[in-house]
Amino acid sequence: MSPQQFRLLCLPGDGIGPEVIQAALGVLQAIAPALDRPVEITHDLAGGACYEAHGVFLRDETMELARQSDAILFGAEGGPGWDNLNIPGGPTARSGLSRLRKELDLFANLRPVRSWPLPAEQTPFRPELVSGADLLVFRENTSGIYFGEPRGIFEHGDRRHAIDTQYYAQGEIDRAAQLAFAVAADRRGKVTSVDKANVMETGELWRERVDVIHRTHWPQVELDHLYADACLFELVRAPCRFDVILADNLFGDLLSDCAAAIAGSLGMLPSASLGPERADGTRAALYEPVHGSAPDIAGKGIANPAAAILSVGMMLDLSLGRKDLAARVENAVDNVLAEGQLTRDLGGSATTNDFANSVVAKL
Ligand SMILES: NC(=O)c1ccc[n+]([C@@H]2O[C@H](COP(=O)([O-])OP(=O)(O)OC[C@H]3O[C@@H](n4cnc5c(N)ncnc54)[C@H](O)[C@@H]3O)[C@@H](O)[C@H]2O)c1
Ligand SMILES: CC(C)[C@H](C(=O)O)[C@@H](O)C(=O)O
Ligand SMILES: [Mg+2]
């Protein structure tokens, strides 16, 4: 019997999305012969590119394709022309990515961050402060203020009011905590849970449930709690103290961009968004760089493709079960950086393609 195909849906999106995804697909193509399954890739539009062609940020047909795929590789979406169109229907109508996250129930967003072999002046920190940093921001991805109701802008007399709602159900916190502890158990065994339990009811419930899940299921993993503001301070003061940072949707978004400074650039942070485990042991999965469409550098061929390439690495590990190949990709990126082949965001002059070709050569 021939091995089962791995169906990958590729959604490059907007701005530098297509540029970094093309680079990442080059790396996937180079490593594919080492896989025991053929990879079948389908391409489609998402984000502003989709809006221009079809008047929506993600088509129903694409959503269906996503459901049938083993994984999705996403570039980036958005840009000045599309971010504030005031489209009714909430976040899933305003953003293809939000629709994918919500409708595929991709509740677990894993955003690993590490220090890389970079020239000392390429991070805003003293080298001895960031050297050896290796952490993972575990962001709850399908609830919180991104999706809570009520939301909207309302007219009242001659005044306009805007509402967003931070909402968490116990089960949403529990499943995020469960998986964050499991991820930590496979790393260095430490979770720092982040909230604003001092001022927010959702924070109070968050802390209470994380404690219960810890006590009941993961007493062997070390747990501490930090308020989100203090956590941001600690992240830049002493990044090496962290292993897994467990945070809600908004705090996780903020913490991961901040942590990108430790890695040297937003262009260095990959991510995986995973759904609940299914009966056959697999999970719905979307892989994407943490960064956005970077309109300021789009179309110039100078974007750093490392985040997209490392996202393919996460896919090899988490959806294809090939930690060995994921390590090969990460080591190749590490070696290219160590040799000083740097894109402009890291102070060098390598183009997107130069960098990707060098990674392929080092696989
Ligand atoms: N996941 C996503 O699709 C995603 C994430 C964040 C922002 N966005 C969207 O992207 C658009 C721009 O947002 P923004 O400017 O706040 O964030 P951004 O991440 O696009 O860019 C922030 C800064 O980082 C730089 N940068 C980002 N990625 C880079 C890379 N790979 N190589 C080199 N430099 C890189 C940019 O040039 C810019 O200076 C907005 O429409 C926003 O909504 C999308
Ligand atoms: C584009 C936007 C919806 C998204 C978010 O806020 O989640 C982005 O910033 C991210 O980090 O993936
Ligand atoms: Mg973000």
At residue 112's C-alpha, the angle toward residues 276 and 221, to 5°, is 70
Number of other CB atoms surrounding residue 321 within 10 Å: 14
Q: Per the domain annotation, does 37 fall within a domain? A: yes
The pair of three-digit structure tokens given for residue 105, joined into one six-digit string: 């129930």
**Could you confirm whether 146 is annotated as catalytic?**
yes
**Rounded Cα–Cα distance for residues 291 and 17 (Å):** 9
Q: Per the domain annotation, does 337 fall within a domain? A: yes
| Average pLDDT score over residue span 45-52 | 97
Q: Write phi, then psi, for 119 (nearest 5 degrees).
A: -60, 145
pLDDT of amino acid 2? 64
Q: Which ligand sits nearest to residue 308's alpha carbon?
A: 1
Q: How confident is the model at residue 211 (pLDDT cuts 50, 70, 90)?
A: very high
**Rounded Cα–Cα distance for residues 68 and 71 (Å):** 9
**Could you confirm whether 167 is annotated as catalytic?**
no
Nearest CA to ligand 1 atom 38: 294
Task: Specify the residue for token string 């959806």.
Answer: 319
Of the residues 196, 287, 345, 354, only one is catalytic, namely: 196
Q: Per the domain annotation, does 19 fall within a domain? A: yes
The answer on pLDDT for 120 being more than 90 is no
Nearest CA to ligand 2 atom 12: 290
DSSP annotation of 219:
T
Nearest CA to ligand 1 atom 7: 292
Q: Is residue 87 within 8 Å of residue 94, measured between CB atoms? A: yes
Query: CB-based contacts of 2: which residues, under 8 Å, 6+ apart?
Result: none
Pairing of strands 148-156, 244-247: unpaired
**Rounded Cα–Cα distance for residues 150 and 164 (Å):** 7
pTM equals 0.98
The pair of three-digit structure tokens given for residue 229, joined into one six-digit string: 């503001």
Give, in order, the Cα–Cα distances in Å from 198 to each of 143, 235, 300.
Answer: 20, 20, 46
The answer on pLDDT for 3 being more than 80 is no
Q: Which ligand sits nearest to residue 46's alpha carbon?
A: 1
pLDDT tens for residues 136-189? 999 999 999 999 999 999 888 889 999 999 999 999 999 999 999 999 999 999
**Could you confirm whether 296 is annotated as catalytic?**
no
Query: CB-based contacts of 227: which residues, under 8 Å, 6+ apart?
Result: 194, 195, 196, 197, 198
Q: Per the domain annotation, does 26 fall within a domain? A: yes
| Average pLDDT score over residue span 8-36 | 97
Ligand 1 centre to CA of 343 (Å) is 15
**Rounded Cα–Cα distance for residues 190 and 181 (Å):** 8
**Could you confirm whether 196 is annotated as catalytic?**
yes
Domain of residue 294, CATH code = 3.40.718.10
Q: Is residue 186 within 8 Å of residue 220, measured between CB atoms? A: no
Q: Per the domain annotation, does 155 fall within a domain? A: no
Q: How confident is the model at residue 90 (pLDDT cuts 50, 70, 90)?
A: confident
Q: Which domain holds residue 87?
A: 6-123+264-362
pLDDT of amino acid 1? 53
pLDDT of amino acid 156? 86
For this complex, say whether ipTM is above 0.90.
Answer: yes
| Average pLDDT score over residue span 87-95 | 89
Report the number of distinct structural domains present in the chain: 1
Q: Which ligand sits nearest to residue 76's alpha carbon?
A: 1
| Ligand 2 binding pocket mutation candidate from 97, 257, 286 (most atoms within 8 A of CB) | 97
Q: Per the domain annotation, does 204 fall within a domain? A: no
Q: Per the domain annotation, does 201 fall within a domain? A: no
Check if 78 has its Cβ closer than 6 Å to any atom of ligand 2: yes
Nearest CA to ligand 2 atom 7: 253
Q: Is residue 5 within 8 Å of residue 38, measured between CB atoms? A: yes
The pair of three-digit structure tokens given for residue 40, joined into one six-digit string: 């079948």
Cα-Cα end-to-end distance for the chain: 30
Q: Per the domain annotation, does 15 fall within a domain? A: yes
**Could you confirm whether 60 is annotated as catalytic?**
no
Q: Which is nearest to 45 in space by CA: 36, 35, 57? A: 57
**Rounded Cα–Cα distance for residues 20 and 301 (Å):** 9
**Rounded Cα–Cα distance for residues 177 and 212 (Å):** 10
